[in-house]
Amino acid sequence: MKIRVLTIFPEMFSILSQYGVISRAIKENKVDFVAVNLRDFTTDRHRTTDDYPYGGGSGLVMKVEPFLKAYEKLRDSEGKPHVILTSPQGNVFNNEKALELAKKDNLLFLCGRYEGIDERITSIVDEELSIGDFVLSGGELPAMVMIESILRFVPGVIGDIESVEKDSFFNDLLDYPHYTRPREVDGMKVPEVLLNGNHEEIELFRRKESIKRTMLRRPDLFLKHEFDKMDKKALLSLFRELMDGVE
């Protein structure tokens, strides 16, 4: 997969290229990632990327020309990318969208600042995406969040694909609780079922806890989940536990 980002702060993306599993995937050429400096596509000696808004008002607006020039150069040299504008006005990014975008070969993220980008940027944008109903100073952090989420679904980026498939939201259920050594901390013990070596019982316990968490914390996800045979078995076990508690 090829990912490009247009930003006036390309150095911010060093966190992706220098740390964690994403950096390893980049170094092993499983992902072709470059943060492109938008200022390289300006024409004045001050490398200006913003100006005052037409019609007056507070703040500055990012100029559209540098974005268009950078886009044209990338398109001509690397092929037409799928262009994403990070924006609080966009559709909310989620796990389903991450999985969809992971199937694209060429992504380009546009990161705005100040009051946003000149509206004419929409002439090259395929979709606007947001990471939530709040405002940040720029689009760089949302782009990084989306990129890391997307790359988890790209083959070879995460060594254990099973861990990705069992993450929260992958199948509309939240993740089950995890434990590690020591067995007891301040009187809090690891559930015995995780210590008995019975893989079928462990899987049932984890699925049951996953369903319970989803019911309590995200009933919207629970209601749209399609239950398989293991889910139904876990639900029955959970129901029996609740009935025992009533007695």
Positions at the binding site for S-adenosyl-L-methionine: 112, 131-136
Pick the catalytic residue from 167, 175, 203, 231: 167
CA geometry: angle 56, 61, 64, nearest 5 deg: 125
Answer yes or no: 167 catalytic. yes
The reply to whether 115 belongs to the active site is yes
Cβ atoms of 2 and 106 within 8 Å: the answer is yes
Q: Report the Cα–Cα distance between both ends of the chain, in Å, rounded.
A: 56
Q: Which residue bears the tokens 């247009």?
A: 6
Active site residue 152: yes
Distance CA(157)–CA(179), nearest Å, equals 25
Asked if residues 36 and 66 have their Cβ atoms less than 8 Å apart, the reply is: no
Point out the annotated binding site: 112, 131-136
Q: Per the residue annotation, which of 10, 66, 140, 152 is the catalytic one?
A: 152
What phi and psi, each to the nearest 5 degrees, are found at residue 153? -95, 0
User: Which candidate in 39, 53, 88, 231 is catalytic?
Assistant: 88
Which of these is catalytic: 53, 65, 75, 115?
Answer: 115
- For 200-225, b/e burial (b = at least 16 CB within 10 A) is eebebbbbbbbbbbbbeebeebbeeb
Cα 231 to chain center, whole Å? 26
Question: Annotated catalytic sites, by residue?
Answer: 88, 115, 152, 167
